[in-house]
Amino acid sequence: MSDIDRRLLLQGAAVTGLVALAPGALRAATRPPRLAPASVQRAVQDQLPATIERIQKWIRQPSVSSTGFGIADCCKLTMELLREAGFQTVKRMPTTRHPGIFATLDAGARRTLGLYFMYDVQPVEEKEWSSPPWKAALVDLPEVGKVIMGRGAVNQKGPQGAFLSALHAIRAAHEKLPVNLVLVAEGEEEQGSTHFHEVVRRSEVVRALRRSMGVVMPSAEQNLNGSVEVTLGAKGILYVEIEASGKAWGRGPTSRDVHSSLAAVVDSPVWRLVEALQTLRSKDGNEPAIDGLAENVRPTSDADKKLFDALAKSVDEAEMKKSLTVDRWVGDLGERAMLERLGSRPSINIDGIFAGYTGEGSKTILPERAVAKVDIRLVPDLTADDVMAKLRKHLDRRGYKDLAIRRIGGYDPTQTRLDARLVQAQIGLYRARKLDVTVRPRAAGSWPGYLFTTAPVGVAAGHYGMGYGDRAHSKDEYYVVEPPAGARFAGLAGAVTSYADYLYTLASG
Amino acid sequence: MSDIDRRLLLQGAAVTGLVALAPGALRAATRPPRLAPASVQRAVQDQLPATIERIQKWIRQPSVSSTGFGIADCCKLTMELLREAGFQTVKRMPTTRHPGIFATLDAGARRTLGLYFMYDVQPVEEKEWSSPPWKAALVDLPEVGKVIMGRGAVNQKGPQGAFLSALHAIRAAHEKLPVNLVLVAEGEEEQGSTHFHEVVRRSEVVRALRRSMGVVMPSAEQNLNGSVEVTLGAKGILYVEIEASGKAWGRGPTSRDVHSSLAAVVDSPVWRLVEALQTLRSKDGNEPAIDGLAENVRPTSDADKKLFDALAKSVDEAEMKKSLTVDRWVGDLGERAMLERLGSRPSINIDGIFAGYTGEGSKTILPERAVAKVDIRLVPDLTADDVMAKLRKHLDRRGYKDLAIRRIGGYDPTQTRLDARLVQAQIGLYRARKLDVTVRPRAAGSWPGYLFTTAPVGVAAGHYGMGYGDRAHSKDEYYVVEPPAGARFAGLAGAVTSYADYLYTLASG
């Protein structure tokens, strides 16, 4: 459910410069950021083998939140990694399902940074991988160099492991950590963070997070050409299973599949699901046609329109299409319209559908049930709760009261201001490294930033980090350790250093 | 794909008498059938343990045609069983996929009977079975007595094994077989007999079958209350896979799943499939809405209407609903209308549908492809070839040229006349055993009888046999060996005897 997968959108994008930087963004950029001392930079280099091993160890401990595979052990391992990195209190936070973690590091500093980690990963189809997903092998890839390949490599164990290495390096250099840290982690990010509010909204956690400048998730933010994007917000998501069954319907077979010859006289829950799904989507794209949803979609502001104009200039559409293996956009949109739609319109998608016999060849049955997995992406001012209620009402009004809707995950849209310290420090650092920076008003993907940006916490939230990786949610996911000569993106040492630099910059001024 | 599964329709039906017998049917019934000599009947009893072992051995050799599991070995075993039963020539008949068998037994008799066997079975979900599907264990079931439980027990290894035992018994009693036999067998019946025509239409086979009175498949035809139904015809079937893919479409992801947040701008093959499927079905039932199909559906004849009237009187609708776990028929039809619709209208069914992530919890992907398994049941004068062409044209006309249609199986409707010797002999024998008989003009299920009833063979074809079994295509399939005291259906010895009686009756007069 993660998505930081803006890389999916922009891989290889040729960013043409600072075109997307609104005037406000330049304010901080004019104040030079403060880089980590040379001693820290040397320690990062010295400890690189240990950094690689730490990330490998983390990946080798599976943690598939959808099935629970390895979750308990990975929670324990993550807590160990935090203690080793210097966190003084590290608490397991039980939730209704997978446990979260709350950890603090008091460095006696003036400012506090919030951190958001996830320790869970997406499921895998092992046989599809060219290197086993839990092996975390070092693999050479022609275009991007030496990588760690494995499930969770870039989403999110690699970048998080690099962040922890920044703390190790500062300690090894006998430097004082420039900011205090408050960390929350969860094991259900890929499941829509269903129970993460049970961690974040506990009073001790709220108190601690409110004291922070904002909450950041370590991430590999660079594109292949080295450019970065600063994303101010993200869509929300509602993920549901919709099930038609003879039992709930009172028509069709109510407790077992029957022979398919009976279709002449027996109703089919599969046809019912197909028919109901069809009412949920606009004909001209993958936009929800759920009653009353469109009226809550906030029109794109003039400020955002300008950011989209700039974005269109910086994105290499051909590269983006190639990376996605897509020849045409919905409705044959042009690049500018596509980018605005991606950032500002809700979408409805069938992530999976299944019923009856799905093996080889034929089996003649009329199935008793059919299920679709559906996700709806939310923009302001849609909320997951509201869309869930509207979906129910939409189906009920059309006579589909029998269709079960099971909420698997959901969160609201999140938004942070361009002038937030968290954001300004990022832009300053990227500029100091001579990277092209683009500002995107809203990512199409989703993450639970709304838990930080809305009450009762109400601080800034975003992602940060140099480095490169790809194929989150797909086979052969990887995170780059050592780019080929001439590469314009940072390797693992550069990523670790970027986190150390960030801590010093946030503390300064 | 089999379907002799009229048992699914009529389990426990309370047949009220000979109400369904049209006048012509009574002609033969007035001439007493010729039963097997007492010596043969004794031999059947003596050999009962060997009969059980033969059926168990056959079931214990898996033969799942959809995957090919055990097919080659089961073909070999079936050929052995035929040789042991006295067939003098037994030839393996290679086809494009699974081999068929052609066998003959020249008894020097005046008449020849054609036989149709299948040696393949449906797939299994082993963990769902209460006794392992390949164990063929003898199990006691409260209502029906001692049974052989296993995949293929009733569909069709049990009844076919019982038929072979009739040949063994006649030989053991030193009697001369009263008819010659010509047998064709296939290993793809459950796959729609896709290549069986390559066996039946070979010239030596056509010549041999044309000399026969007709072709019969041994079957367990009794209902729980002992009644039987003689079915004169069967619907045909077209079984296809319909696939939407980004690759063929030129829209959406063309070679891998992409992140679901992209649904705002990337087309979805899953939505496309859902949309296209929706055009294939009438809103008021599961009837095909394929352009031009309805006009080829032959209206129900007055003679058939009378048979349906009689059928409605003999079928216990409440029992039928209970057995199917169905509370209401399509369109809330009454019993009489339901029975006619089942026998005379085409249907369209989704046997299976799948796309994307179908595991537990959530995975956020926009899948590159989606597949539906669809079967269309055919009545006269629809043919599988014609409907396949119309389906293609229907989709093309609506812009779905990119949807792939893969034909998995298909056969045309089949029909035999009530006055055929094959049918008259059956009715005579059932009456001699004081069984209630109903004549059904057409079964809703399908079997490849059209290969025998249409050119170039053009003889009668049907099923025959006493005995009882159930759960073909489902878990815990069984065939009864020894019914409880007072049961009105025959056990295994009665079934074997019924086949011996049939051979003597067909030879007489």
pLDDT, tens digit (0-9, with 9 covering 90-100), for B189-218: 988 888 999 999 999 999 999 999 999 999
Higher pLDDT, A28 or B115: B115
| Tens digit of each residue's pLDDT (9 = 90 or more) over B23-77 | 444 444 446 799 999 999 999 999 999 999 999 999 999 999 999 999 999 999 9
Q: Please give the share of chain B, as a percent, with pLDDT higher than 90.
A: 83
Res A20: pLDDT: 40
Q: Of A491-505, B23-37, B237-251, which range is least confident?
A: B23-37
Closest-CA distance, A312 to chain B, in angstroms, reads 14
Interface test with A, best of B266, B311, B315 (most A CBs within 10 A): B266
For residue A15, pLDDT beyond 50: no
First-residue to last-residue Cα distance in chain A: 36
Mean pLDDT of B412-437: 93
CB pairs under 8 A between A and B: 323
Mean pLDDT of A447-470: 95
| Tens digit of each residue's pLDDT (9 = 90 or more) over A34-46 | 999 999 999 999 9
Tokens 């009353």 belong to A292
Give which of B42, B361, B317 is closest to A407, Cα–Cα: B361
The residues that bridge with B478 in the sheet, in sequence order, are: B149, B470
Whether B267 and A286 lie within 8 Å, measured CB to CB: yes
Whether B250 and A328 lie within 8 Å, measured CB to CB: yes
Whether B262 and A9 lie within 8 Å, measured CB to CB: yes
| Tens digit of each residue's pLDDT (9 = 90 or more) over B452-497 | 999 999 999 999 999 999 999 889 999 999 999 999 999 999 999 9
For residue A27, pLDDT beyond 90: no
Q: List the single residue in A348, A352, A355 with the smallest CB-CB distance to B263.
A: A348
Higher pLDDT, B304 or A171: A171
Give which of A266, A279, A274 is closest to A244, Cα–Cα: A274
* Distances in whole angstroms, Cα of residue A370 to Cα of each of A151, A279, B272, B280: 30, 16, 18, 18
| Tens digit of each residue's pLDDT (9 = 90 or more) over A401-447 | 999 999 988 889 999 988 899 999 999 999 999 999 988 888 888 88
> For every residue of A308-375, which 3-state class applies, written as one string?
HHHHHHHCCHHHHHHHHCECCCHHHCCHHHHHHHHHHCCEEEEEEEEEECCCCCCCCEECCEEEEEEE
Mean pLDDT of B405-426: 93
Q: List the single residue in B191, B263, B266 with the smallest CB-CB distance to A362.
A: B191
Q: Of A214-228, A302-316, B198-212, B288-302, which range is least confident?
A: A302-316
Cβ-contact B447, B2 below 8 angstroms: yes
B444 pLDDT band, cuts 50/70/90, is confident
Cα A264 to chain center, whole Å?
A: 47
Other CB atoms closer than 10 Å to residue B142's CB: what's the count?
Answer: 6
Res A18: pLDDT: 32
For residue A21, pLDDT beyond 60: no
Cβ-contact B107, B99 below 8 angstroms: no
Kindly list the residues from chain B whose CB atom is less than 8 angstroms away from the CB atom of residue A252: 326
Cβ-contact B149, B83 below 8 angstroms: no
Q: List the single residue in B65, B274, B352 with the smallest CB-CB distance to A357.
A: B352
Interface test with A, best of B190, B351, B379, B440 (most A CBs within 10 A): B351
Res A445: pLDDT: 81
Q: Please tell me whether the peptide bond between A156 and the residue prior to it is cis, using omega within 30 degrees of 0.
A: yes
Element (H, E) at A396: helix A384-397
A10 pLDDT band, cuts 50/70/90, is very low
The residue count of chain A comes to 509
Cα torsion at A424, A428, A429, A432 (round to 10°)? 170
Res B284: pLDDT: 79
B1, closest residue in chain A (CA to CA): A364
Res B141: pLDDT: 96
Element (H, E) at B447: none
Res A25: pLDDT: 45
Q: Please give the share of chain A, as a percent, with pLDDT higher than 70.
A: 94
Closest-CA distance, B355 to chain A, in angstroms, reads 5
Higher pLDDT, B313 or B503: B503
Tokens of B375: 């079967």
In whole angstroms, what is the distance from residue A242 CA to residue A240 CA? 6
The 8 Å CB, 24+ separation contacts for B144-147 are B144/B224, B144/B468, B144/B470, B144/B478, B144/B480, B144/B483, B144/B484, B144/B487, B145/B480, B145/B481, B145/B482, B145/B483, B145/B484, B145/B487, B145/B491, B146/B480, B146/B481, B146/B482, B147/B469, B147/B478, B147/B479, B147/B480, B147/B481
In whole angstroms, what is the distance from residue B204 CA to residue B209 CA? 9
B5 pLDDT band, cuts 50/70/90, is very low
Q: Is A399 left (phi over 0), alpha (psi -120 to 50) or beta?
A: left
Q: Which residues contact A485 (CB under 8 A, 6 or more apart)?
A: none
Strands (E), B9-133: 89-93, 100-105, 112-118
Q: Which amino acid is at B37?
A: P
A474 pLDDT band, cuts 50/70/90, is confident
Res A307: pLDDT: 85
Mean pLDDT of the residues in chain A: 92
Res A45: pLDDT: 98
First-residue to last-residue Cα distance in chain B: 36
pTM of the model: 0.81
Q: Is A102 left (phi over 0), alpha (psi -120 to 50) or beta?
A: beta
In whole angstroms, what is the distance from residue A364 CA to residue B156 CA? 16
Interface test with B, best of A350, A398, A475 (most B CBs within 10 A): A350
Closest-CA distance, B496 to chain A, in angstroms, reads 28
ipTM above 0.95, yes or no: no
Cβ-contact A266, A475 below 8 angstroms: no
Mean pLDDT of B296-302: 93
Cα A442 to chain center, whole Å?
A: 13
Res B31: pLDDT: 60
Closest-CA distance, B502 to chain A, in angstroms, reads 29
A31 pLDDT band, cuts 50/70/90, is low
Q: Please give the share of chain B, as a percent, with pLDDT higher than 70.
A: 94
Q: Which residues contact A150 (CB under 8 A, 6 or more apart)?
A: A56, A59, A60, A131, A132, A133, A134, A135, A136, A137, A477, A478
* Distances in whole angstroms, Cα of residue B173 to Cα of each of A170, B85, B312, B386: 98, 14, 44, 51
Q: Which residues contact B396 (CB under 8 A, 6 or more apart)?
A: none
Pairing between β-strand A214-218 and β-strand A414-415 as defined by DSSP bridges: unpaired
Interface test with A, best of B65, B261, B320 (most A CBs within 10 A): B261
Mean pLDDT of A222-245: 94
Cβ-contact A236, A13 below 8 angstroms: no
Q: Is B21 left (phi over 0), alpha (psi -120 to 50) or beta?
A: beta
For residue A75, pLDDT beyond 60: yes
Res A32: pLDDT: 77
